[in-house]
Amino acid sequence: MSVIIVLIIISVVVAVFFLGLFIWAVNTGQFDDTYSPSVRMLFEDKKPAYPASPAGGRTGRHSKSQPSRQTGMKEKKDEDKKK
Amino acid sequence: MTGKDKAVKTICYHCGDNCDREHIVFEDKDFCCNGCKTVYEILNQNDLCTYYDLEQNPGISLKSKKFDDKYAYLDNEEITHLILDFKDGEKAKVTFYIPSIHCSSCIWLLENLYKLTDGVNHSRVNFVKKEFSADFNPEIISVRKLVELMVTLGYEPSISLEDSNKKNEKSINRSLYLKIGVAGFAFGNIMLLSLPEYFGFEGLEKNIQRFLTYLNILLSLPVVFYCASDYFKSAWSGLKQKFINIDVPISLGIIVLFTRSLYEIISMSGPGYLDSLSGLLFFLLVGRWFQNYTYQGLSFERDYKSYFPLAIYKYVDGILKSIPVNRIEKGDVINVRNQEIIPADSILKSDHANIDYSFVTGESNPVSKNNGDYIYAGGRQLGESINLEVVKPVSQSYLTQLWNNDAFTKEKDESFESLINKISKYFTIAVLTIALLGFAFWVGNDFKTALNVLTAVLIVACPCALTLSAPFTLGSAMRIFGKKNFYIKNVNVIERLLKISHIVFDKTGTITYNQTSEVNYEGVEVEQDDFKNIKALAINSTHPLSRILAESIDENPDNISLDKYEEITGSGLQAEVEGDAYKLGNWDFVNTGEYSSLEITDATQIFVSKNARLLGRFKIENKYREGLKEIVSFLKSRFGFSILTGDNKNEERRLIELFGNSATYKFKQSPQDKLDYIIKLQKQNAYVLMIGDGLNDAGALRQSNIGISVTDDTSNFTPASDAIMTSNSLRDLPKFINFAQVSHAIVIAAFTISFLYNILGISFALTGKLTPLVAAILMPLSSISVVVFATTVTNLMAKIKKLV
């Protein structure tokens, strides 16, 4: 019967892990704004009118907040404007 | 407007306004002004037109928004230091409150700001709080450039003196979320581990059973020592003040539950009530969360600081330099430009100034001042920039002194007044009596049973359902009010609404329209052409009264040419229109010396003459909000009325028409007078509801038992108050008061239900039959049924009362 004790301990540990995740989420402010994320996830970047960057098409995930790519994109755009 | 404009109703592609004043077509799209077109151009060039796909006409109208070098002060390091959250070399972080954030397009554009400009690394919008925060590189884009870009796009950050003492306040809700999470976690797991107990698995090995119960104790420790801490604290502080609040029986229940469970488990006499304990706290905390609902986008705590500017231009050795407003000293010479606010009491050094005090004194028309005049802080300069010599520092000015009044230093503590705390005393005493009687009854036979009965009564009588009834009823009512644009600070306001006996209205901006006035012509009968000519004349002046006059005349003066146009400051206008000489202005300017039947009153008026013959006058009067009469006639029978105004008496006749003879009218009231009047009413045992709008009402709003500030747009500044209401929901005021009574009745009904549960529970307890299983069923059942009852009935009643 003692195997059930091990199982219970495992189940509680798993539960505590998720509680920890919840605490982390609250403390990093993920519950502070309950509206904007629901809208933000639906934003989609339009396919660029100019040739895509070397790594292939831009996906929503990448174009958001990666500084390295941003600068690249801006240069592209500047070139576009010159034309 | 002319017929030509009416025929075509084009809507601006950017902001959705009518394009009837100006109509610009660009790339087949209609725009109502240059500002809107510019934004479109900027977005179009940067491939950001998704902005227009997310919502229809999402933009913010840019009419009458010119900033020139309004934000030049942001180049001053000392000032930007006050605004920035953080700055270190190439990295800086800033957070702005942007009232105009209103839709998903706004979020999208502001978060894609990095595509629009170099230097912005990352930006985020908190829609609920209407906050925008950005990480940027100040060496590439200065704070001023960033702010100016946002203003161009229509997202004007609100930068005020308030920002200078900004603190990084964390959301209060976070700890509540954590507590709910922990309590819910413990509740679920303890119930799960108690399952064998519920089903009475006799065959369970003793050591496994012990293991499970000890695990339960472990799980319940954070519940008792962390989640319940607020209740203990509140109960203790109540007891210290010799006051039994509702947290006293709750704390008692929790302590008894926990100690009895500990005793049972350790002595192996039973499994304890730890599941009920954690369930109880979980429900209580959820109730608290529901009740603590707040309108984060609104601020109920603003004082003059969020109205006053952050920086001001000061002459240093003859050169204008921007300095933080707080650093102004007596004797400084400052420069205030068009539409800027005068931050300190001072003396006018320029020849002439036109100052709009409407927000401060309630005086609706601009006041003109001349060189050497004393100018109170808080006014807004209209027209060209003026120089002023400061007489008093900001915090000691005539207006700001109001905030030194006692009314602002003491907290309005209303929690003691709430219904639940009123009955908690009797409730606690009754429960203790029953518990002790039960103990006394059993103690003769069997001490152990007697002790069991005593603790069982305290456990089962723990007023969980009782404490949930008010939060869920009033919380629902609060949300219903919110849908009707009546935003209350907390649920206590609803309970206080019941007690009102006297309603005090401010006049200007509250019961009258802020922007529009009623213009009536009195005098010799004239032809339509004359009106057209008068409009042609008035339209040329920037004087506020001319503007009002020009707007009130429905003629199109496009093809009329003026000769010899002249504007005499402080007097009026004159010009020749198609051979006729017109004069518009005050009595001394227009008076032709001939006898006139027009009596000269205090009223705001513009006289008009044609070819040196007096025609008549335009009387400019406040326009009262629609539906006022209905409200008044409805509320008259139940409440006393007072009307306070900073204006002079010339509207008295019309006010009496509206409010009748029984109301009290007070004219020429200073902000301090208003506050004193409320105190006077309260001394006569009146429970005062104050409805106001401006800074001049701030004292009265604060002193009154309930202060409601009325605003045309909730993104505007409103002084600290208990509730904020948009001006067009003012007419629903009787409904709101009525619904407050309805929700009170619902709370009482919910109380009754929870009392019935308590009686049922106590009958189990007194007979010594309160097993952990009964407790584990009864407690959540009572809580849930009360919650369901409270929310559904409240929403149902709102529908019946036609509030939703």
Query: What confidence tens digit (pLDDT) does each residue in B136-162 have?
Result: 888 888 888 888 888 878 888 888 777
Q: Check A70 against B215: CB less than 8 A apart.
A: no
AA letter at B720:
A
CB B607 within 8 A of CB B585: yes
Q: Which of B121, B126, B102, B118 is nearest to B54 (CA)?
A: B102
* DSSP-derived secondary structure for A58-80: --HHHHTT-HHHHHHHHHHHHHH
pLDDT tier, B515 (very low <50, low <70, confident <90, very high otherwise): low
pLDDT at B618 over 50: yes
Q: How many CA atoms lie within 13 A of B81 on its CB side?
A: 6
CB neighbourhood size of B561 (10 A): 11
Q: Read off the tokens for B57.
A: 């006409």
Same domain membership, residue B711 and residue B649? yes
| A35-62 pLDDT, tens digit each | 888 888 877 765 555 544 444 433 444 4
A72 touches chain B (CB under 8 A): no
Residue A33 is nearest to which of B114, B129, B178, comparing CB atoms?
B129
In a domain, B262, yes or no: no
pLDDT tier, B363 (very low <50, low <70, confident <90, very high otherwise): low
| B157-205 pLDDT, tens digit each | 888 777 666 554 555 678 889 999 999 999 999 999 888 887 776 666 7
Taking the C-alpha atoms of residue B130 and residue B124, their distance in angstroms, rounded to an integer, is 11
Q: How many CA atoms lie within 13 A of B420 on its CB side?
A: 27
- List all residues 6 or more positions away from B193 whose beta carbon is below 8 Å from its beta carbon: A8, B212, B215, B216, B219
- Structural domain for B354, as ranges: 304-404
B752 touches chain A (CB under 8 A): no
Per-residue model confidence (pLDDT) at position A81: 39
In a domain, B735, yes or no: yes
CB neighbourhood size of B595 (10 A): 6
In a domain, B29, yes or no: yes
Q: Which of B518, B486, B552 is nearest to B733 (CA)?
A: B486
Q: Check A5 against B211: CB less than 8 A apart.
A: yes
pLDDT tier, B364 (very low <50, low <70, confident <90, very high otherwise): low
Q: Which residue has the higher pLDDT, A21 or B354?
A: A21
Residue A39 is nearest to which of B104, B188, B189, comparing CB atoms?
B104
B125 touches chain A (CB under 8 A): yes
Q: Which residues of A touch B126 (CB under 8 A)?
A: 32-33, 36
Residue B126 belongs to a domain with what CATH number? 3.30.70.100
* DSSP-derived secondary structure for B54-111: HSSS-----TT---TTTTGGGG-HHHHHHHEEEEETTEEEEEEE-TT--SHHHHHHHH
Three state DSSP letters for B203-217 = CCCHHHHHHHHHHHH
Backbone torsions φ then ψ of A10, nearest 5 degrees:
-60, -45
pLDDT tier, B610 (very low <50, low <70, confident <90, very high otherwise): confident
Taking the C-alpha atoms of residue B143 and residue B84, their distance in angstroms, rounded to an integer, is 9
| B376-433 pLDDT, tens digit each | 888 888 777 888 888 888 877 777 777 777 777 666 655 556 778 778 888 888 888 9
Q: Which residue has the higher pLDDT, B239 or B70?
A: B239
Q: Which residues of A touch B289 (CB under 8 A)?
A: none
Q: Which of A50, A58, A47, A57 is nearest to A76 (CA)?
A: A50
Per-residue model confidence (pLDDT) at position B178: 93
Which 3 state secondary structure label does DSSP give B548?
A: helix
| Chain A closest-CA separation from residue B297 CA (Å) | 11
pLDDT at B359 over 90: no
Per-residue model confidence (pLDDT) at position A63: 39
Same domain membership, residue B99 and residue B130? yes
Q: Check A33 against B181: CB less than 8 A apart.
A: no
In a domain, B169, yes or no: no
Same domain membership, residue B634 and residue B507? yes
pLDDT tier, B20 (very low <50, low <70, confident <90, very high otherwise): low
pLDDT tier, B788 (very low <50, low <70, confident <90, very high otherwise): very high
Q: Which residues of A touch B115 (CB under 8 A)?
A: 70, 73-74, 77
Q: Check B212 against A8: CB less than 8 A apart.
A: yes
Same domain membership, residue B78 and residue B44? no
| B219-275 pLDDT, tens digit each | 999 999 999 999 999 899 988 988 888 888 899 889 998 999 999 889 888 888 898
Tally of domains within chain B: 4
Of B740, B771, B796, the residue that ends a domain is B740
Query: Which residues 483-522 of B have a C-beta within 8 angstroms of A?
Result: none
pLDDT at B601 over 80: no
Kindly state the DSSP code that residue B18 receives in the 8-state scheme.
B
Same domain membership, residue B139 and residue B77? yes
In a domain, B86, yes or no: yes
Q: Is the four-CA dihedral B256, B260, B263, B266 of positive or negative sign?
A: negative
Q: What percent of chain B has pLDDT over 90?
A: 12
Rounded average pLDDT over B300-310: 76
pLDDT at B300 over 90: no
Same domain membership, residue B46 and residue B115? no
Taking the C-alpha atoms of residue B262 and residue B272, their distance in angstroms, rounded to an integer, is 7
Of B404, B420, B441, the residue that ends a domain is B404
A5 touches chain B (CB under 8 A): yes
Rounded average pLDDT over A68-72: 39
* DSSP-derived secondary structure for B175-193: HHHHHHHHHHHHHHHHHHH
In a domain, B392, yes or no: yes
Give the highest mean pLDDT range of A5-14, A62-71, B308-317. A5-14
Taking the C-alpha atoms of residue B200 and residue B203, their distance in angstroms, rounded to an integer, is 9
What ipTM is given for this predicted complex?
Answer: 0.75
Q: Which residue has the higher pLDDT, B79 or B692?
A: B692
Among chain A residues, the shortest Cα distance to B216 is held by A12
Per-residue model confidence (pLDDT) at position B416: 53
